[in-house]
Amino acid sequence: MSTPSLGPDAATACWIRSPLHQDYLANNALKQLDFFRPSLQQKPGFHVLAQDGGTLDSTVQELHTTTRMIHSFALGKIAGVENCDAMIDQGMRYLFSHHRDREHGGFVWALDDDGIHDDRKLAYGHVFALLAGSSALAAGHPDGAKLITQVDAVLDRHFWQDEPMLFCDEWNRDWTPFSKYRGMNANMHGTEALLATYEATGREKYLDRAGRILDFFLGKIAPSENWRLPEHYTENWAIDRSYSGNPMFRPAGTTPGHSFELARLLLQYWDLRGRPDDGALQTARKLTYRALGDAWDGQSGGLVYTLNFDGSQAITDRYWWPVTEAIGVLAALLKCDPQPSDEDWYRKLWLFADQHFIDYAIGGWFPEIDAQGRPTEVQFLGKPDIYHSLQATLFPLTNGISNAYKGLEARLRP
């Protein structure tokens, strides 16, 4: 634990403007990138890292982990970090050589060594491929534009639905129907990818589609649900209150961590549109503070994983990613409309992350903690992901409130 380095003394008005806190963020980002460099393996793809930094036996590689690795090291390169190209190149090669389905088009979900482990075509994975393409393009990778073009065509043909202006979720490998499930999660990360691609290309199509998704979930659903966001929907986009899928990846009820993500994305969209007086700032604040009030564990700290529709806590397990997403939206609020409560929450969340999730002995962040606040491995083996925790350190360092590739340039350069 290293809490004295988090920021200056309590009298300092705003941590994100403090050189001491900025150094803390930059140092943690650099250490995360260093920890994940051993993911690079001699054969195609990436190793999954154990908590001690060694490699796990699993050879299954999912589309979102490949693309998140590209995105994360592309952000590192944009921020001025050296020796990121090998990781970006490895991920891009693996996307085109293994995840890409030459027979049916699109990208398969999971691979096992050189074979297909799970051949479904998921919107969730394809929007992360679009995000990887935009980040690679912004970082100067020669295949970034190619990846955007290929993924965009697949999203247009198979996932984007013009009538609801939303992404559907999943198909079989040959594009025959897999289910009628509709979900918020793929659309939320779709919004993330669309905004990033707009930043990288300037094409209005991506900004417009992001706005359509945000209008549905934050303009229609959130106000009618007391500023909570149901996760699951029927084929006709009615809330499916009875749905209960995988308790980790499609849990019942609502997921407050996603409220933080969507609130930040709304601020990014608002910023990219010139900050119009359209109520976006107030909507983002309502969404953020409803989730903080519902999800914070008043006894032990941290944010619980899921809520019931009335806001009562359901799955009380505590993971790293909701904390990182709350940090991201509070940093955005502090940049555009700072309130004392924003600063209080921003500090509280970083103090909790510093004490419980950051591994100062080995590197990286622990993905989950037990009831006593100690690292555990129940849902996640090892340290499988850099994406959430890296962005928690980088978003407060950007000049703007969006993903802002240009705002990140050279922020970590020695």
The count of other CB atoms within 10 Å of the CB of residue 382 is: 20
Q: Is the pLDDT of residue 277 over 90?
A: yes
> What are the angstrom distances between the C-alpha of 83 and each of 43, 68, 87, 270?
19, 17, 8, 34
Q: What percent of the chain has pLDDT over 90?
A: 89
Q: Is the pLDDT of residue 47 over 70?
A: yes
- Summarize pLDDT for 323-354 with one digit per residue, the tens: 999 999 999 999 999 999 999 999 999 999 99
Backbone Cα Rg of the chain: 20
232 is catalytic: no
- CA 106 to chain centroid, in Å, comes to 22
Q: How far apart are CA 132 and CA 250, in angstroms?
A: 23
Q: What percent of the chain has pLDDT over 70?
A: 95
Assign 296 a pLDDT band (cuts: 50, 70, 90): very high
Burial 94-103 (b: 16+ CB within 10 A, else e): bbeebbbbee
71 is catalytic: no
pLDDT at residue 60, as a whole number = 92
Q: Is the pLDDT of residue 40 over 50?
A: yes
- One CATH from 1.10.10.410, 3.20.20.60, 1.50.10.10, 3.40.1350.10 for 15-404: 1.50.10.10
pTM: 0.96
Assign 8 a pLDDT band (cuts: 50, 70, 90): low
Q: How far apart are CA 138 and CA 77, in angstroms?
A: 10
Q: CB under 8 Å to 60, separation ≥6 — which residues?
A: 110, 111, 112, 117
Place of tokens 């989730």: 291
Q: How far apart are CA 90 and CA 385, in angstroms?
A: 16
Contact predicate 350/6, CB 8 Å:
yes
- Summarize pLDDT for 48-95 with one digit per residue, the tens: 999 999 999 888 999 999 999 999 999 999 999 999 999 999 999 999
- Provide the mean pLDDT of the chain: 94
- Summarize pLDDT for 189-229 with one digit per residue, the tens: 999 999 999 999 999 999 999 999 999 999 999 999 999 99
Q: Is the pLDDT of residue 3 over 50?
A: no
Q: Is the pLDDT of residue 163 over 60?
A: yes
Q: Is the pLDDT of residue 4 over 70?
A: no
pLDDT at residue 11, as a whole number = 56
- Summarize pLDDT for 167-180 with one digit per residue, the tens: 999 999 999 999 99
Parallel, antiparallel, or unpaired for β 368-369 and 60-62?
unpaired
pLDDT at residue 22, as a whole number = 92
- Summarize pLDDT for 374-408 with one digit per residue, the tens: 999 999 999 999 999 999 999 999 887 765 576 77
Assign 6 a pLDDT band (cuts: 50, 70, 90): confident
The count of other CB atoms within 10 Å of the CB of residue 12 is: 14
pLDDT at residue 10, as a whole number = 55
Burial 301-330 (b: 16+ CB within 10 A, else e): bbbbbbbeeebebbbebbbbbbbbbbbbbb
Phi, psi of 55 (to 5 degrees): -110, 140
pLDDT at residue 1, as a whole number = 39
Q: How far apart are CA 169 and CA 98, in angstroms?
A: 22
pLDDT at residue 402, as a whole number = 61
Q: Is the pLDDT of residue 285 over 50?
A: yes
Q: How far apart are the first and last CA of the chain?
A: 25
Structure-token pair, residue 380 = 């996640």
- Summarize pLDDT for 85-129 with one digit per residue, the tens: 999 999 999 999 999 999 999 999 999 987 999 999 999 999 999
Structure-token pair, residue 295 = 């999800």
* The one catalytic residue among 64, 71, 189, 258: 258
- Structure-model confidence comparison of residues 181 and 411, the more confident one: 181
> What are the angstrom distances between the C-alpha of 264 and each of 131, 170, 212, 353, 397?
16, 26, 16, 19, 15
Q: Is the pLDDT of residue 7 over 90?
A: no
pLDDT at residue 279, as a whole number = 97
Quote helix, strand, coil % in the chain, to nearest 5. 50, 10, 40
